[in-house]
């Protein structure tokens, strides 16, 4: 803080909508600060109704819901760190459903069941679990059956395992 106000309050007083969006996407506090009040009150008093309206509309957003401010790299980082697709109002997934751009597309892809295409968007623990489950399938394929001619083809079992087992076994 500088002079008793936060960067978000300063952006609201100056009418810098894009700066306020970026600060909000990083979790800037929207708490009231005497004598400025809340960021939306500061924006309204300074005559920036569009900024105040955006602050009201985005009140329940999590960092992942700020689609317009997210780069693909930051969206990927948030998803990989475990950011929820279902928290906030509206949720990041609800915003991404009709949204354009790379961040919205990544969120939609991350919401799909696990697949090789979405693997990189899952949190580390889920990716590690997917590898472990895939190794189990590999071990099953390599275990000697009672009848040597009945041994499954690993590549066929691998495809079935990856396409049908892993999507049900791995969750975000």
* Structure confidence at residue 112 (pLDDT): 94
List, in order of start, the domains of the chain with CATH numbers: 7-57 (1.25.40.20), 63-111 (no CATH), 120-169 (no CATH)
pLDDT digits (tens, 9 = 90+) for 30-49: 999 888 899 999 999 999 99
Calpha distance 42→165 (Å, rounded): 53
Which residue in 69, 90, 79, 89 sits closest to 26, CA to CA?
Answer: 69
pTM of the full structure:
0.82
Q: For 48-52, 72-76, 137-141, which range has the lowest pLDDT when averaged over its residues?
A: 137-141
Q: For 46-60, 65-79, 114-128, 133-147, which range has the lowest pLDDT when averaged over its residues?
A: 133-147
Place 90 in a pLDDT band, splitting at 50, 70 and 90. Answer: very high
Q: Which residues of 71-97 are buried (b: 16+ CB within 10 A; e: fewer)?
A: eeebbbebbbeebebeebeebbbebbe
């Amino acid at each position: 803080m500088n002079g008793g106000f936060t960067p978000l309050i300063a952006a609201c007083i100056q009418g810098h909508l894009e700066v306020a969006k970026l600060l909000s996407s990083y979790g800037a506090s929207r708490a009231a600060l005497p004598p400025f009040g809340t960021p939306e009150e500061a924006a309204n008093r300074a005559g920036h109704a569009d900024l105040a309206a955006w602050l009201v509309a985005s009140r329940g957003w999590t960092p992942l819901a700020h689609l317009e401010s997210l780069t693909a790299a930051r969206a990927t980082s948030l998803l990989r760190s475990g950011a929820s697709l279902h928290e906030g109002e509206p949720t990041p997934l609800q915003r991404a459903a009709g949204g354009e751009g790379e961040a919205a597309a990544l969120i939609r892809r991350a919401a799909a069941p696990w697949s090789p295409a979405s693997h990189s968007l899952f949190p580390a623990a889920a990716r590690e679990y997917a590898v472990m489950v895939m190794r189990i399938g590999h071990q099953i394929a390599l275990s000697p059956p009672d009848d040597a001619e009945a041994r499954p083809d690993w590549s066929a079992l691998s495809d079935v395992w990856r396409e049908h087992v892993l999507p049900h076994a791995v969750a975000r």
